[in-house]
Amino acid sequence: MLVHPQFDPIALQLGPVAIHWYGLTYLVAFGLFLWLATLRTRQPQYAQTGWTRRDVEDLLFFGVVGVVLGGRLGYSLFYKPDYYLSHPLEMLMVWKGGMSFHGGLLGVLAAMAFFAHRRGRRFFEVTDLIAPCVPLGLASGRIGNFINGELWGRAADPSLPWAMVFPQSGSDLPRHPSQLYQFGLEGVLLFVLLWVYARRPHAVGRVSGAFLVGYGVFRFIAEYFREPDSFLGLLALNMSMGQWLCVPMVLAGIVLWWRAGAVPAARMAR
């Protein structure tokens, strides 16, 4: 049976400055976004409409602000509303941990809406550009989760070759390394599917819809192997909070994908 190696969370110590592995995975995610989004701006459908590297850098800035604020607020309101509504100032204490992907997504969408308004571009044009660039960043974050030994999986059959004991869980139960499942599904696999799909021109909004459906489905599957939050457990229909949050995401993606093909591009949201 495998045992999580319990990595030192600090990758490099430079005097009083400690560089954590998790911070490095964020830097990798940002670097991947810059590279991939720049490649996207060179594709004909974006190059012809004046997209530049400077636009990508601005998108990254707004996106980072959106994901941090949205991720923290989402975690506070989706997962621990009673506590954080009683201690609202702690919502701003990001160093205490606690981020929600679904909240981060809403934050990014708000940031992209602001960017689109400022630049006079259609909202779904912006989200179509960035959607295929996101999954590898998510994959990098899941590696950070694995290194930190957090967000471990549910108990697994001991005969499973890759079942792993996470001492951080406080038990010797073999578990699914669900961080790596999410790395593969909502990270690498989703990236490949979206990148291939988005290489050809599509109606504005369809790439964004495909991202919502793809991430929602893969995250829903991965949640069956991920240990639910101890303070929530499983909710109605034996589904986790993560799964329940994926349901409207998938439905919205289906509606967006269908509507994008049915509505003339000039009428899509700006």
Q: Residue 82: CA atoms inside 13 Å, Cβ hemisphere, count?
A: 2
Cβ-based neighbours of 212, under 8 Å, separated by 6 or more: 249, 250, 252, 253, 256
Q: How far is CA 74 from CA 95, 115, 157, 241, in A?
A: 15, 21, 33, 12
Strand-pair category, 164-165 with 2-3:
parallel
The structure tokens 């967006």 sit at 256
Cβ atoms of 144 and 22 within 8 Å: the answer is yes
Q: What are phi and psi of 269, to 5 degrees?
A: -55, 140
Tokens of 229: 């939050």
Q: How many residues does the chain have?
A: 270
Tokens of 83: 């506590």
Q: Which residues pair with 116 in a beta bridge?
A: none
Q: 54 labelled as ligand-binding?
A: no
Nearest 5°: the CA angle 166, 160, 225 is: 60
Q: Compute the distance between CA of residue 163 and CA of residue 254 in angstroms, rounded to an integer.
A: 35
Annotated binding site: 142
